[in-house]
Amino acid sequence: MKKKLAAIAMATAMAASLAACSSKPAETTAAAEENEETTAEAAEGSEAAEAGDSAFAGKTLVMSTNAEFAPYEYHDGNDIVGIDVDIANAICEDMGASLEITDVAFDSIIPEVQSGKADFAAAGMTVTEDRQTQVDFSDTYATGVQSVIVTEDSDIKSLDDLKGKQIGVQQGTTGDLYSTDDFGEESVQRFSKGADAVQALSTGKIDAVIIDNKPAQVFVDENDGLKLLETPYAEEEYAIAVKKGNTELLDAINASIANLEESGKLDEIVAKYITAE
């Protein structure tokens, strides 16, 4: 599980560097000192937003997402709802802007942001080194863990047991990237939706699904005969993506994320969608 450890090490390093940019009061003193300037900027940003003179006031911001990822973004009737949607709405509210959501395949999200079709992406998107070369990421607002779903009667008990098995993933996600690296192309079956991978698992076409823990928990709750392996596969940080160089929007988003964390609203949003851990 070389890659898994590398992923965890990377996520930890990233968490440390992100912590240095965060304005959360609970950070270590060293981080807090380095942080004073950022915090001041964040405060200025929020004052500007409150005063209604943000550069985005009156504008419509387009958010790209893939609404197949409950509880972060999913369809509820004709609406797209979820943690990311509430966060994006709160961010737009801070800026005096309106929110429009476009629902695309997960691997089209970054191209939408790069081309300017979307202003930002909120999609439970993990910060990776590769993606950092394509878009700029906000401060992190959540932690994700890649998890393994198997059938209740599965002989797969550990990550090592996945060798030589057929693993279902959602195309283009970190679950796809890591399992392809660790177990080889021939072991990975890609689906456009996590739900389709889970369906293939339930009907015995594949042996396991690797997907982020929160959607994984929703799939296990909603489908009989499935369980999560207790061993997590890789830990990650979620952030919002903007077009490279769009610091004006990124600063405004970071100021809002800081507001949401400090006011406790972020916790409220998460609690609304995740009732039991």
Written as six digits, the tokens of 266 are 């972020």
Alpha helices in 51-173 (DSSP H): 83-95, 109-115, 129-132
The answer to the question of residue 126 lying near ligand GLN (CB under 6 A) is yes
**Choices 11-19, 113-121, 123-131, 245-253; region in contact with ligand GLN by CB under 6 A:** 123-131
- The number of helix segments (H) and strand segments (E) in the chain equals 11, 14
Q: What residues from 80 to 109 belong to the interface with ligand GLN (CB under 6 A)? A: 106
**Choices 20-28, 42-50, 169-177, 178-186; region in contact with ligand GLN by CB under 6 A:** 169-177
Q: What residues from 203 to 232 belong to the interface with ligand GLN (CB under 6 A)? A: 212
DSSP, residue by residue, 231-270:
S--EEEEE--EEETT-HHHHHHHHHHHHHHHHHTHHHHHH
**Choices 18-26, 32-40, 124-132, 256-264; region in contact with ligand GLN by CB under 6 A:** 124-132
Reference 218, options 167, 153, 149, 267; nearest CA is: 149
- Prior bond of 71 cis (ω within 30°): yes
The answer to the question of residue 123 lying near ligand GLN (CB under 6 A) is yes
The answer to the question of residue 179 lying near ligand GLN (CB under 6 A) is no
The answer to the question of residue 64 lying near ligand GLN (CB under 6 A) is no
Written as six digits, the tokens of 241 are 């993506």
Report how many residues bind ligand GLN under the rule CB under 6 A: 12
Binding ligand GLN by CB under 6 A: which of 22, 54, 66, 254? 66
Q: Cβ(259)–Cβ(46) under 8 Å?
A: yes
Kindly state the smallest distance separating residue 269's Cβ from ligand GLN, in Å: 17
Burial 220-234 (b: 16+ CB within 10 A, else e): beeeeebebbeebbb
**Choices 20-28, 42-50, 94-102, 168-176; region in contact with ligand GLN by CB under 6 A:** 168-176
Contact positions vs ligand GLN (CB under 6 A): 66, 69, 106, 123-126, 144, 170, 173-174, 212
